[in-house]
Amino acid sequence: MKAVLCKAFGPAETLVLEEVAGPAIKKNEILLEVHAAGVNFPDTLIIEGKYQFKPPFPFSPGGEAAGVVLEVGEKVEHLKAGDRVMALTGWGSFAEQVAVPGYNVMPIPGGLDFTAAAAFGMTYGTSMHALKQRANLQPGETLLVLGASGGVGLAAVEIGKAMGARVIAAASSAEKLAVAKAAGADELINYSESSLKEEVKKLTGGQGADVIYDPVGGDLFDEAIRSIAWNGRLLVVGFASGRIPELPVNLCLLKGAAVVGVFWGSFAQRQPQDNAANFQQLFAWHAEGKLKPLVSQTFPLQQAAEAINALGQRKAVGKVVVQVR
């Protein structure tokens, strides 16, 4: 099979496309024929050795995929050969086949093609878990989303609206904010041009945002925690800016606020039934037209490096997908 390989940590340009043997599966795994693979920020980190997982070389990046089940390990009961599925793989999806533990694979509902399905799981799964289990977002609350046109950010805008929140989308350019507006955001803040803290104050009558969704970290986190409402919850989702911020905890004391960690991959593994219930809700909202996964760019497998760089160079909006077949 063809696979994009990382043979040593480095930038995306060092990835190579080679012909390799297909993977063998364990008893708890399925073999997936990959049709499309979603690109996520962790793909930019894993090839540089900067992610929490460091697979042995050579490995293929690509944390999620959609395709057809080719083989099923004897301990996997909910799937059969020929099923159309979406899978969370961690890595390995930028290849024509990947072996995946059965618990990370689910059938694709009607209405999603392979491209959209490959772009759905990681972003909507993360943002749903963040806003439901971690923030307990309530109808009528104000949700501030940073990096609001990115993968997880745009999903958070749509889910926030579906949960009945007033959504303030914040991003670094007018073009990116237009994407968040089209996804349903009520208010927009361009944090390249104005102070996040001052704009949030203006838009909330001085109260601040009840829930803040932060996939960016760095300086924006420092401003965001000062924009939080009494009883607020700031969701620590990621550090796309490259800096993990530090927190003077008196800021939490003063607002009765909580800083809450979000780790969707672990949640899905530790609380599979809650994760499955989240996806039932997400699929229902998708069928009702409340969620519209935006795939802004697709790349063939031989251009996987360009796909990864679109995220690493802060150029992507919505999702980027590698079309494997």
Ligand X SMILES: NC(=O)c1ccc[n+]([C@@H]2O[C@H](COP(=O)([O-])OP(=O)(O)OC[C@H]3O[C@@H](n4cnc5c(N)ncnc54)[C@H](OP(=O)(O)O)[C@@H]3O)[C@@H](O)[C@H]2O)c1
Rounded alpha-carbon distances, angstroms, from residue 14 to 4, 243, 306: 10, 24, 11
CB 256 within 8 Å of CB 233: no
Residue 233 in contact with ligand X, rule: CB under 6 A: no
x-or-dash pattern for ligand X, window 33-72, by CB under 6 A? -------xxx------------------------------
CB 33, min distance to ligand X, A: 24
Residues 6+ apart with CB under 8 A from 305: 4, 12, 13, 15
Beta strand pairing call for 187-190 and 166-171: parallel
Interhelix angle 151-162/272-287, nearest 10 degrees: 80
Of 76 and 130, the one with the shorter C-beta distance to ligand X is 130
x-or-dash pattern for ligand X, window 160-199, by CB under 6 A? -----------xx---x-----------------------
Residue 238 in contact with ligand X, rule: CB under 6 A: yes
CB 47, min distance to ligand X, A: 13
Of 171 and 203, the one with the shorter C-beta distance to ligand X is 171
Q: Which of 23, 101, 147, 232 binds ligand X (CB under 6 A)?
A: 147
Size of the site for ligand X (CB under 6 A): 29
Distance CA 301, CA 3 (A): 8
Residue 87 in contact with ligand X, rule: CB under 6 A: no
Helix, strand or coil, per DSSP, at residue 36: strand
- Residue identified by tokens 């809650």 is 274
Rounded alpha-carbon distances, angstroms, from residue 200 to 42, 181, 210, 238: 29, 16, 11, 21
Residue 212 in contact with ligand X, rule: CB under 6 A: no
x-or-dash pattern for ligand X, window 115-134, by CB under 6 A? -------x---x--------
Of 115 and 241, the one with the shorter C-beta distance to ligand X is 241
Residue 152 in contact with ligand X, rule: CB under 6 A: yes
Task: Enter the DSSP assignment of 247.
Answer: -
CB 116 within 8 Å of CB 282: no
Point out which span in 85-93, 95-103, 145-153, 299-307 binds ligand X (CB under 6 A). 145-153
CB 128, min distance to ligand X, A: 11
Instruction: Please calculate the CA angle 305-127-53 and round it to the nearest 5 degrees.
Output: 50
Of 282 and 311, the one with the shorter C-beta distance to ligand X is 311
CB 265, min distance to ligand X, A: 6
Point out which span in 20-28, 225-233, 259-267, 291-299 binds ligand X (CB under 6 A). 259-267
According to the 3-state scheme, what is the secondary structure of 97-117?
EEEEEHHHEEECCCCCCHHHH
Of 103 and 263, the one with the shorter C-beta distance to ligand X is 263
Rg for the chain (alpha carbons), in Å?
A: 19
Of 5 and 321, the one with the shorter C-beta distance to ligand X is 321
Task: Enter the DSSP assignment of 95.
Answer: B
Distance CA 183, CA 169 (A): 10
Instruction: Please calculate the CA angle 81-87-90 and round it to the nearest 5 degrees.
Output: 130
Residues forming contacts to ligand X in the complex (CB under 6 A) are: 40-42, 122, 126, 147, 149-153, 171-172, 176, 215-216, 237-242, 262-265, 311, 314, 316
